[in-house]
Amino acid sequence: MSIQVGLSGLSFCVKNTESNAFVQYFDYPTTDKTKPEILLKDFINAFETQQALQADFSSVRVIHDNALVSLVPQELLDTSDLSKFLKYNVALLPTDFVAHDELNSLNCAVVFVPFVNINNYVFEHFGSFEYHHQATILLQRLHALSESSNNTILRLHIQDDYFEAICFKGKQLLCYNRFSYQTSHDFLFCLLFLIEQLNLDPETLNCELFGRVNSDHSCFKDCYTYIRNTRLLEPMIETEFLNLKHNFVALNSF
């Protein structure tokens, strides 16, 4: 089972590894997008009310979705003091636990603050489990997609109130960043700023959007207006769950 945890919502995905088929997927809304302490109550309620979550699972993976994250080159990584890589752009509390995922193929690490109360609950109910930041799943999968091309590709993971920008030039990672937005104007400002900072040419750049987006979405239309080669990144993994097709992270978390 793969579980995505974020203030904007929860999702639960179950896959039969023998048949390689997804057998369960559903989203579970959170009651307050601003209070991490309420998130645990929603999480517990999901397990107590959803019969599908009361089965036995051979493995459990928790994917943390938050903005408390930074990429660090491996040569600079100091695992004895991970907080120093976040403290300048994240408001950390003295009690915050900082974790990291190593991405050896990209020569970097994803440093992040997990929802510790969620991890504790999962450990109490399932014992040992894996946990990662959402950025780790995105970077691993998108790096694999970029290995066969030398082109520069900007991929935008669109969600309801934020988007993640991942840019590869062939195998080389140029950028990972996460931006909050409320309006189409906010999105466009962040996008154009990113393109300028990376010195990318909108006339030749390839841009792919995925996540909670389609060709009628304002983010797609804005991209298409300013970037000539814009398209949707279609899911490459088959599933009968229509809403799972829009969850790239869940599809690629096994």
What CATH code is carried by the domain that includes residue 99? 3.30.420.250
Task: Give the pLDDT confidence of 39-73 residue by residue, as tens digits.
Answer: 999 999 999 999 989 889 999 999 999 999 999 99
Same structural domain, 129 and 151: no
Same structural domain, 120 and 38: yes
Q: How far, in Å, CA of 179 to CA of 163, rounded?
A: 5
- Indicate the pLDDT class of residue 146, thresholds 50, 70 and 90: confident
Coil vs helix vs strand at 157: strand
Examine the pLDDT at 147 and tell me if it is beyond 80.
Answer: no
Domain range holding 9?
2-139+237-251
Side chain identity at residue 60, one-letter code: V
Packing angle, helices 36-49 and 116-126, rounded to 10: 30
State how many domains the chain has: 2
Same structural domain, 210 and 131: no
Same structural domain, 33 and 97: yes
Examine the pLDDT at 91 and tell me if it is beyond 90.
Answer: no
Same structural domain, 123 and 185: no
Same structural domain, 7 and 131: yes
Same structural domain, 163 and 242: no
Same structural domain, 134 and 243: yes
| Residue 97 near residue 39, CB atoms below 8 Å | no
| Residue 18 near residue 45, CB atoms below 8 Å | no
Task: Give the pLDDT confidence of 212-251 residue by residue, as tens digits.
Answer: 999 999 999 999 999 989 999 998 888 989 899 999 999 9
DSSP 215: T
Q: How far, in Å, CA of 172 to CA of 188, rounded?
A: 25
Same structural domain, 77 and 182: no
Whose tokens are 């309006």? That residue is 183
Same structural domain, 70 and 190: no
Strands 61-65 and 2-6, bridge-based pairing: parallel
Measured in degrees and rounded to the nearest 5, phi and psi for residue 71 equal: -95, 135
Same structural domain, 62 and 158: no
Whose tokens are 């929603």? That residue is 42
Q: How far, in Å, CA of 123 to CA of 52, rounded?
A: 18
- Indicate the pLDDT class of residue 17, thresholds 50, 70 and 90: confident
Pull the structure tokens for residue 39.
Answer: 């998130």
- Give how far Cα 94 sits from Cα of 84, 98, 103, 172, Å: 12, 11, 27, 35
Same structural domain, 71 and 156: no
- CATH code, domain with 194: 3.30.420.260
